[in-house]
Each structure stands twice: as C-alpha cells, then as structure tokens.
Structure 1
Amino acid sequence: MLQIVPAEMIYMMIGQRYSWLLVLGVFWLASYLASKWSMAQSRSTQYLGLVFYIILQAVIFLPMMYMAMAYTGGGEVIFQAATLTVAMFAGISAVAFTSKKDFSFLRNVITIGGFIAIGLIVAGMIFGFNLGLWFSVGMVILASATILYQTSKLKESYSTNQYVGASLQLFASIMLLFWYILRILMSRRG
C-alpha cells in the first residue's frame, strides 16, 4: 500500500491534531462492524468481515510504516518489530496452550486497561502531549495479556464454526502488539 497510496494522503491522516482522532474513530466503528460480520452465521459474511478488517489494519498502519521506512533505516526496524512480535506471540500462545490455568480473570483487567488507554490517547491528541515510552511499554503488556486471554478463550470457549471470528480477535491483538513494539523501536532510533 505504501507504493499505491500517495504520501500526501498519508500525511492527511495525521497532519492535523484532530485528523488522527477522526481516523481512529472511523477505525473503531469499522472494526466493530468487521467483528460482528466475522461472527455471523454465513461463512462468506465471516470471511468478508475478516478481509475488511485486514484492509482496515493496512490503512491504519500506513502512517507508521511510512515513518518507519522513511526515518528509521527502512525495513530493518519493521523486520525487528515483526520478529519480536512473532516471538512474543509464540511464547504467550505456548503458555496459554500448555498451562492448565484459566485466564478468564484477565477480561476485566483488559477492559479497564483498554478504557484507560483510550482515555490517555484521546487526551494526548486533544491536549497535544506525547504519551511516551512508558505508555508504549504498558500497551505491549496490555496487548500481551489480551493475546493470552484470547488464546486461552480460543482453546476453551469458541466452537469449531467460530474460527473466523476467533482469528480476527487474535489478529487484532497481534497487530496492537506489533504497533507498540514498532513504536518502541522507532523511538530508540529517532
């Protein structure tokens, strides 16, 4: 998409203080719709929801990928972030699948942490302050907890015909983890 979408459009997504807030709002609403579709009865609607969500993720990642490519050594930092994300996902999933522990207690922690994170992101955009490294570290922890919870839920709760919706939920958490790992690596270079 970096080859297709003009740089001016990418700048429009983040150029004004409130434009990114609008992009996030649209992303949130569209994500809700995609998630709802992915849990539908019709298999084609489920896959439509998953494909729609993947395209949404590609669009929301455009500014971050553009900055990573332009300012921090190109694909190297993206490769490092992807490698760390895959390694963390594999480790977390191994814990979820091999442990006999019930991780459903994480649901409330994730919900509260998610609302706090959204509040901080919106406040940062409105009042113009940078959330910094520690926020990114906190979000990596929150995304990791979400992956642990969802992998455990995948093992215990989802039926065999809900695999599309389950994969969408897990994909969303993996992308959140990748986003904040990439932010941390970019902050160290830039």
Structure 2
Amino acid sequence: MDQQQSWQGTSAGVQPRIDFVRSVYLWLMGGFAVAALGAVGALLTIPIWVPLAQGSRMFMWVLFFAQMGAIFFAKAVSRRKPLNILGYGLFTLISGFVVGIVGIAVATTSGFATVLMAFGLTGTVFLTLTVTAFVSKKDFSFLRNFVIVGIAVMFFGSLAAAIFHLETFSLIISGVAVIACSAKLLWDTSAMLRTDDLGDPAGFALALFVSLYNILIALMNLLGGRRR
C-alpha cells in the first residue's frame, strides 16, 4: 500500500473504519473517566498513603510494579471481552491514582496552577498531534526507531533517577519522555487510521492512553522542578 494513500481508501471500507476510530476514542474517553476516579481516590485517601510514602519508598515501588503488571495484563487481553474491560479499567485506575499522587505532590511544592498547566499542555499536545495525523493522512511509521530508542531511554533513565535520587537527570529524562511519547502518539494515531486490523480498539486506546499519561507525568515533573 502506498504510504501516502488516504486511510479512507483502505480495503476495510469507510464506514467500518469510522466505527473503529469512534470505538477507539470511546475507549480512550472511558479510560480518562476511570483515571479521574483513581485521582479522586488518591485525594480522598491522603491520610492513608502519605504516611506510607513518607516512611518508605516501597509504597511507590509497589504502585510501579502494580502498574506494570496491569498494563501487561491489559495488552494481553485487549481482544478478549469482557477481560479487556477489566484489564483496561484496572490499568487506567492505577494510573489515575498515580497521577493524583504526583499532582498533589507538585501542587504542594509548586502550586496548583502548575498542575493545571501540565494538564493544559498535555491536552494541547493531544489535540495538535491528533489533528496533524487526521489532516495529513500520512504514515508516521518512520518514527518507529526514534520512538523505541526514546522510550527505552525514558524507562531506564527514570528508573536510574528514582533509584539514585538524581533530580536534575530526572528533569532531562522528563524532557525525553515528552518528545518520545509525543512521537509515539502521532505514530499510533497514524497507525489507527491506516490499519486493516479493526478488531482491537481497546489496544489502540491503551497505547494512546499510555502516551498521554507519560506526557502528563513528565510535564508535571518538568514544570514542578522548574518552579521549585
């Protein structure tokens, strides 16, 4: 297939693809709603988790491994109903809880406006890259290698920064995360518009959600670190 070919012209037909894209974004909106519940849960349980987080870093590591387990489970069952709902919901709920914790920490040290700015910038990135993919109708799979390297640097760099308490390095890695995950968001949106496999809307929504989650966390770290 010509890389410049419009996604409307794929063999799957126009209407099935429109239904597929609509389904992906419905899944994504549902993920946002569940994540919001997780964030509210973090706010309501401050008296419980704050002593745990202050007393030991183990609490955040438990959350990290729970999140990793949830995303692997969600990916494994993305085509299996109703397990895909359970897996996706579990991951977005935990992620929302983590966002709530990070947001509270950033708001405490740098002000609530910093958190709002991070959300606003994340929304701007999402809308800009989504419109770019829809309007250009290009195949952005050429970003694959850049995304793979960037995400690897982001993941292992974040672990190193957390283990060795490297605050300045953490800010650098957050910058890498914003760039790499923005590129992945563009790539995944392009792939969604061009794929002939229309049977995995949950999987595409999960990919978009993960990119947006990482961008939001990275922006809160960057903006909060800049203001501290």
Same fold (TM over 0.5): yes
In structure 2, the CA distance between the partners of 1:119 and 1:26, relative to structure 1 (3 Å rule), is same
* TM superposition score normalised by structure 1: 0.86
CA–CA separation in structure 1 for the residues paired with 2:197 and 2:177: 29
Asked if 2 retains the 8 angstrom alpha-carbon contact of 1:18 and 1:126, the reply is no
Say yes or no: does 1:50 pair with 2:72.
Answer: no
**Structure 1 residue 158: Cα displacement:** 6.1
Structure 1: runs of 5+ lacking an equivalent: none
- CA RMSD after TM alignment: 2.2
**Structure 1 residue 11: Cα displacement:** 4.9
Query: Residue 101 of structure 2 is aligned with which of 59, 63, 72?
Result: 63
Q: CA deviation digits over 1:4-56, x for unaligned, max 9?
A: 2134414534753565344323321221112222x2232x2222222112111
Q: Which residue of 2 aligns with 1:167?
A: 205
Query: Residue 113 of structure 1 is aligned with which of 144, 150, 153?
Result: 150
- Aligned-partner SS, 1:41: coil
Asked if 2 retains the 8 angstrom alpha-carbon contact of 1:40 and 1:46, the reply is yes
In structure 2, the CA distance between the partners of 1:25 and 1:3, relative to structure 1 (3 Å rule), is closer
Structure 1 vs Structure 2: percent identity of aligned residues? 24
**Structure 1 residue 170: Cα displacement:** 0.5
Q: 1:178 corresponds to which letter in structure 2?
A: L
- Aligned-partner SS, 1:136: helix
What is the correspondence of 1:1-190 to structure 2 with a 5 Å cutoff? 1-13=41-53, 15-17=55-57, 19-37=59-77, 39-42=78-81, 44-74=82-112, 76-130=113-167, 131-157=169-195, 159-190=197-228
Asked if 2 retains the 8 angstrom alpha-carbon contact of 1:82 and 1:178, the reply is yes
Q: Please tell me whether Structure 1 or Structure 2 has the larger radius of gyration of its CA atoms.
A: 2
CA–CA separation in structure 1 for the residues paired with 2:222 and 2:120: 14
Structure 2: runs of 5+ lacking an equivalent: 1-40
Q: 1:124 corresponds to which letter in structure 2?
A: A
CA–CA separation in structure 1 for the residues paired with 2:173 and 2:211: 16
* TM superposition score normalised by structure 2: 0.73
Q: CA deviation digits over 1:66-87, x for unaligned, max 9?
A: 212322222x222211111111
CA–CA separation in structure 2 for the residues paired with 1:133 and 1:122: 13
CA–CA separation in structure 2 for the residues paired with 1:176 and 1:129: 19
Worse overlay, 86-95 or 115-124: 115-124
In structure 2, the CA distance between the partners of 1:118 and 1:60, relative to structure 1 (3 Å rule), is same
Asked if 2 retains the 8 angstrom alpha-carbon contact of 1:140 and 1:180, the reply is yes
In structure 2, the CA distance between the partners of 1:53 and 1:14, relative to structure 1 (3 Å rule), is farther
Q: CA deviation digits over 1:135-187, x for unaligned, max 9?
A: 22211101101101111111112643322221121011111111111212212
CA–CA separation in structure 2 for the residues paired with 1:178 and 1:27: 16
